[in-house]
Amino acid sequence: MKRKFIKKTGFALLLFLTVLICGSIFVYADETKNEKIVYDFYEDGSGKDIISDEVNLNDKNNIAKDKNYYRYNSESNLYRSVNMKISQVGVDLIKEFEGCSLTAYKATSSEQYYTIGYGHYGADVSAGMKITQKQAEDMLKSDLVRFEKNVNDFLSQYSITINQNQFDALVSFTYNLGNIWKKYDTFDLKTYLINGVSKYSDEQVTAAFTRWNRAGGKVLEGLTRRRKAEASLFLHGNTDDCTCSESYAGYYVCTAASALNIRNGHGGSIIGTIPSGAEVYVSKADGHWAHITYKGIKGCASLKYLKKQKAKQVSAMSGVKLAGRAGDALRINWNTNKSASGYIIEQYKGGKWTRIARIANNNTKTYRVERLTCSTTYKFRIRGFNFEHNKPIYGSFSYVSGRTNPKVVTGLRIGGKAKDALRINWNKVNGASGYIVERYDNGRWIRIARIADVNTQTLRISKLKTNTTYKFRIRAFDFDGKTPLYGATVGITGRTQP
């Protein structure tokens, strides 16, 4: 039946009846028959008046809350899962695999009856029987009613809601295998449907179809192909019948006042609803209809009530700098990144970047990298992370490098004494650039030597007074770029000879 929304004459009546029936069921009039039919209405073909897909979920009388979605339960016209009809897509699939013979034949000589038309098999087909193409089509049509009912009965028994593609696939499956739903208590496909197919992977569902590829104990290639085609239709639907563009892909929010219908195609029958404010993923759309996934239900919804969300982004880090150093540690600071929920810090080690910290708090603004080696330059990078729909997203890396301080000088000793001089010796500090030597004089430390050669391990301090005690201290120095770095000081006292 062609449903058409009467915009002029029907509007007052529509409004009246809409109020009368609590707003969730809308009125349609079939112009050709001049009948008043209670129906949900949908986009009228112009692509503009997609106003009816808003449903009122607060209306408890008309809608029952299901496990995963809402479903009409008071209006049989809308309760499609129990009374679905195969679509042309399904019929075409059956025709393709059954083939058509206008003369009766036996597929294998062991078969009891003859086959004719699109795989019509039974006692009513006799040897030598001939039919017209029209008769073949009619036979298929009347056979399909029986197989549709087999599938509908099964779906009703377990309150299973599936979309049109899935129904088409199951009718094709049943057309080939008979009323398998009643014949067997359990088999994978039946189990998956009862438990909810969204709980199973595409591979599992495909395998549940393709295991039914034998006839007389032998695997038939044609049956395998058919099962794969059915599985594909079941899982992904027919993607050739619309020209929707993936440029619409992304996450959207439902803006309907209460809820938005999910349909099994562009303007198809209702298979679920999306509550207001819920988030859905749109894979493609044509400007009027969007292909959505919501809580495991795949279908189409009016794009008019879906608002695209800006993709979340993590901005680049700012204020990343080396904020402190020691011989065995470096401290990195950064500014709070509000677009991040935390930070990842990596260190360049052995030719690759290695994660050294994941900080799950965006208020933390500092990190001390410990257990480092003295006088060594380290490279680090940091980026913010966050999550969008449980998927981690990252900002770009900011880089910082830093060199640890030189090691403390060891082995400091008085290496020689004279009346006017003292010699100090020490061990080499690997990695440093040189040494600073200071003498304590009149209450303060005075630099007496800067030795810019790391291999020098001795210094003679002359022009000293006889028989006097002197205090010295020494530390290694180094550079990080132009920044001078110093090791900790170590001191010694010595007395000149009398």
Question: Measured from the CB of residue 72, what is the shortest distance to Zn ion in angstroms?
Answer: 24
Residues that bind Zn ion (CB under 5 A): 242, 244
Task: Say if residues 438 and 388 touch (Cβ distance below 8 Å).
Answer: no
Q: How many CA atoms lie within 13 A of 17 on its CB side?
A: 15
Per this entry, what is the length of the chain? 498
- Find the shortest distance in angstroms from Cβ 248 to Zn ion: 10
Per the CB < 8 A criterion, the answer to whether 194 and 187 are in contact is no
State the minimum distance, in angstroms, from the CB of residue 262 to Zn ion.
Answer: 13
User: CB-wise, 155 or 244, nearer to Zn ion?
Assistant: 244
Q: What is the 3-state secondary structure (H, E, C) of the chain?
A: CCCCCCCCCHHHHHHHHHHHCCCCCCEEEECCCCEEEECCCCCCCCCCCCCCCEECCCCCCCEEECCCCEEECCCCCCCHHHCCCCCHHHHHHHHHHHCCEEEEECCCCCCCCEEEECCEEECCCCCCCECCHHHHHHHHHHHHHHHHHHHHHHHHHCCCCCCHHHHHHHHHHHHHHCCHHHHCCCCHHHHHHHHCHHHCCHHHHHHHHHCCCEECCEECHHHHHHHHHHHHHHHHCCCCCCCCEHHHCEEEEECCCCEEEEECCCCCCEEEEEECCCEEEEEEECCCEEEEEECCEEEEEEHHHEEECCCCCCCCCCCCEEEEECCCCEEEECCCCCCCCEEEEEEEECCEEEEEEEECCCCCCEEEECCCCCCCEEEEEEEEEEEECCEEEECCCEEEEEECCCCCCCCCEEEEECCCCEEEECCCCCCCCEEEEEEEECCEEEEEEEECCCCCCEEEECCCCCCCEEEEEEEEEEEECCEEEECCCEEEEEECCC
Shortest spacing between CB 238 and Zn ion, in angstroms: 10
| Shortest distance in whole angstroms from residue 285 CB to Zn ion | 7
List CB contacts of 314: < 8 A, sequence separation 6 or more: 337, 339, 340, 383, 384, 385, 386, 393, 394, 395
Which CB atom, from 84 or from 244, has the smaller least distance to Zn ion?
A: 244
Q: C-beta of 172: minimal distance to Zn ion in Å?
A: 22
Annotated catalytic residue 98? yes
Residue 271 Cβ vs Zn ion, minimum distance, rounded to whole Å? 15
Of the pair 242, 357, the CB lying nearest Zn ion is at 242
Query: Which residue lies nearer to Zn ion by CB, 231 or 244?
Result: 244
CB of 165 to Zn ion, least distance (A): 12
- Catalytic entry in 35, 43, 75, 98: 98
In the bound complex, which residue of the shown chain has the CB atom lying closest to Zn ion?
Answer: 242
Q: How far is the CB of 263 from Zn ion (least distance, A)?
A: 11
Classify the phi-psi angles of 318: left when phi > 0, otherwise alpha if psi is within -120 to 50, otherwise beta: beta
Residues tagged active-site: 98
